A and B are shown apart, each in its own frame.
Chain A
Amino acid sequence: MLKSYMILSIILFSIGMVGLISRRNIIVIYMSIELLLNAVNLSLVAISADLADSSAQVVSLIIIAIAASEAALFMALFVVLFRNKSSLDANLFDILGSKHE
């Protein structure tokens, strides 16, 4: 049982990575990050069930709390970025790159 949960967690994590890198839409990038966190939560709960220790569930809870705060900040960020550029393209933010020197 635990093994299958771990494998599922790994698959979801990989899917999240793919989405993080491939998409240019910043909202989809954000949701991929959330998917990563959820995959980790899944594996934590499975371990907790296996070990019959609730500490892992507590960790998972804390991760959910952190994801919530991060969501708030991300949203604020979206509002600001959309206000500036009127577009949701991640490729537009490249001031750190070498073209601007």
Chain B
Amino acid sequence: MSDRLLLNTLLLSPLVSALLIFLINISIAKTKQYIYTFLALSGSGISALIALFVSYYSYFAEKLFVSHLFTWLGIGDFTIEVTLKADSLSSFMLLFVAPVSFLIHIYAAGYMNKDKSYGRFFIYFNLFIFFMFLLILADNPIIMFIGWEGVGLISYALIGFYFEDIKNTYAGNKAFIVNRIGDFGFLSALMLMFIELGSGGFSYDAIFSHLTQIDNEMLTLIASLLFIGAMGKSAQIPLFVWLPDAMAGPTPVSALIHAATMVTAGVYMVARFAPLYNITVDVSLFIAYIGAFSALFAAIVASRQYDIKKILAYSTMSQLGFMFMALGVGAYSTALFHMFTHAFFKAVLFMGAGAIIVAFHHKQDIRQLRGIRYFDPFLFIMMFTASLTISAIPPFSAFFSKDAIMSVLYSSGHIELFFIAMAASLLTVYYMFRMIFVLFFSKTVQTGERSSVVMIYPMAILTLLSIFAGVLNLPEIFGGKLNISTWLNIADKDFFMSHSGEILLMGINTLLIVAVIIYTYKKYAYTVAIDRESEQTVVARKFCVDEMYNAAFVKPLHSLSTFLDMKISNLLINNTINLMALQYEKLGKAFSYFENGNVRFYALYILIGCVMGFVYLYFILRAVL
């Protein structure tokens, strides 16, 4: 099995299945749903199998898979080769992206059952994972940018999937536009890098080997611009406003894109450019602070939200903040490991939310969904487990990843980051369990339709993974060997923390978490406290960020463009052109007096012309002498 065949099939099978579904969708009017299901699942299933295979070999045999496709541009010194490379970082990403995508595909087949745009949904879904794989496997920041833009585009298409309601389209627009602002930063950084380094080849290895040739200010600029791209894609302050609105799309979209894959593209990109961020420590610190503030902000806002999916959206933003904090202080593999575990439990949470929404006919407010524990106990167990995971209770997987982040932050020397992270983490526990207790622990009891098996089984698999995945990167105090970190082999900074310090930290953490759970239980379980919370507080209105952006950016641009259209385009340019046309008309009328139809006058004109010709020849040119 050659490298080329494996990687190319991995990349292209979702694309081919999307294409086939598209062709069938437009040619045959009423297709059986199972054809689409088969094509979609095979497209993503083949990729998942190959991804497992590739990461197995990459880990155990330390094999580097390379597949050179073609040369896109070759202009003198500057070449862009389209090469797929699965080094350890890419294989690690593939390890969780591909199987999670496959499981969410299965879930989506159940969620979108009997939907009238079933085929269109899976076209977009498969195209999405094609672009995600392109992003992960690219050897070259320009090809990664193609994948980057592609996932943004498909995210827009999927958020606005139910386009009959115009609000969904606006949400999609918002996502795409805010993403675009980030893309502008990314593209500017790429162009700057190209100006400085383009002649030596533009793959990652070539860039990193020549990185020291660029002077420091330019490097800082490039690093900050790249991070602006990550801000847009991974919803950090100030470019996060699209993420809550993106919940307007169907829930599998939220589960896949806004929990496990697309939002992690920013983290992947920063990790990929780790050598750059190691040099520019100011930008790294900036990243850490942005992550910290995003985490805290999102956690505060989530604690007063009432829509299930919005709570989970802010939770995603908060967890991403944690990852960026770790990236900012230089602990790249810790951040990546947290991304790994986050994919699992966040997917479970979203899928559970989706199951609840479908079971209760699209009610999404937690105050109306109380007491649903008994209609589907299995769902309750899975959601509860995922919440325990996100709270970082031992021995669940996120305990290892989040605690690793905490210790790294503590020993990094920026103690304020540690305290912000601690606050955000406790708030995470608070809002997650607020949601769980209101939904499941209530005096009133409701029942709804049970979810289909197709939706439950993938959730079960992911729940198991979220429980046990921590074992992959056990730190030394528990006897593990940090397997994933050694595999990734990124330029982490070294952090030193004594074993006793670590155990003390973990102990205090766990105690605080348990305390918060008890407090939340007392407050929300079997009470009506949630109904007494007002919806008009500043926190509940998300600190009015959307309104501020609207007033500061949207309205001025809108009025500027209206002004330009009305005044300048209509009045100025149109009138000028009309005026010119009018002048021509008058001139034409003036000339028409010469054409009076009288032949004598025409003869006169001929005579005049002839005489003028004669005069010119004879007197002026002296042609005939």
Contact = CB atoms under 8 A, between A and B. Distances in A.
Interface string B577-608: 00000000000000011011111100110010
Interface in A44-101: 90-91, 93-100
A90 B600 contact: yes
Interface string B601-625: 0011001000000000000000000
Nearest to B591: A98
30 contacts: A20-B600, A21-B600, A21-B603, A21-B604, A21-B607, A24-B600, A29-B600, A90-B598, A90-B599, A90-B600, A91-B600, A93-B597, A93-B598, A93-B599, A94-B596, A94-B597, A95-B597, A96-B595, A96-B597, A97-B595, A97-B596, A97-B597, A97-B598, A98-B593, A98-B595, A98-B596, A98-B597, A99-B596, A99-B597, A100-B597
| Shortest 3 CB-CB contacts between residues of A and residues of B | A97-B597, A94-B597, A98-B592
Interface residues of A, number: 15
Q: Is the interface of A mostly helix, strand, loop or mixed?
A: loop
Counting chain A CB atoms within 10 Å of each CB, which of B599, B600, B604 scores highest? B600
B613 to A, nearest CB: 15
Nearest to B602: A96
Counting chain B CB atoms within 10 Å of each CB, which of A21, A96, A99 scores highest? A21
A1 B248 CA distance: 109
B603 A20 contact: yes
A94 to B, nearest CB: 3
A91 B607 contact: no
Nearest to B592: A98
Contacts of A97: 595-598
A17 B607 contact: yes
Contacts of A96: 595, 597
Contacts of A93: 597-599
Contacts of B598: 90-91, 93-94, 97
B251 to A, nearest CB: 71
Given A17-B607, A21-B600, 12 more contacts: A20-B603, A21-B604, A29-B600, A90-B598, A90-B600, A91-B598, A93-B597, A93-B599, A94-B598, A95-B597, A97-B595, A98-B592
Interface in B511-570: none
Contacts of B592: 98
Contacts of B595: 96-98
Contacts of B593: 98
A99 B595 CA distance: 9
B518 to A, nearest CB: 97
B265 to A, nearest CB: 69
A100 to B, nearest CB: 7
Interface in B87-142: none
Contacts of B600: 20-21, 24, 29, 90-91
Nearest to B596: A97
A95 B592 CA distance: 14
A9 to B, nearest CB: 17
A21 B598 CA distance: 11
A15 to B, nearest CB: 13
B244 to A, nearest CB: 67
Counting chain B CB atoms within 10 Å of each CB, which of A90, A94, A96, A98 scores highest? A98
Counting chain A CB atoms within 10 Å of each CB, which of B592, B593, B597, B599 scores highest? B597
Contacts of A94: 596-598
A101 to B, nearest CB: 9
A98 B602 CA distance: 13
Interface in A7-21: 17, 20-21
A40 B100 CA distance: 105
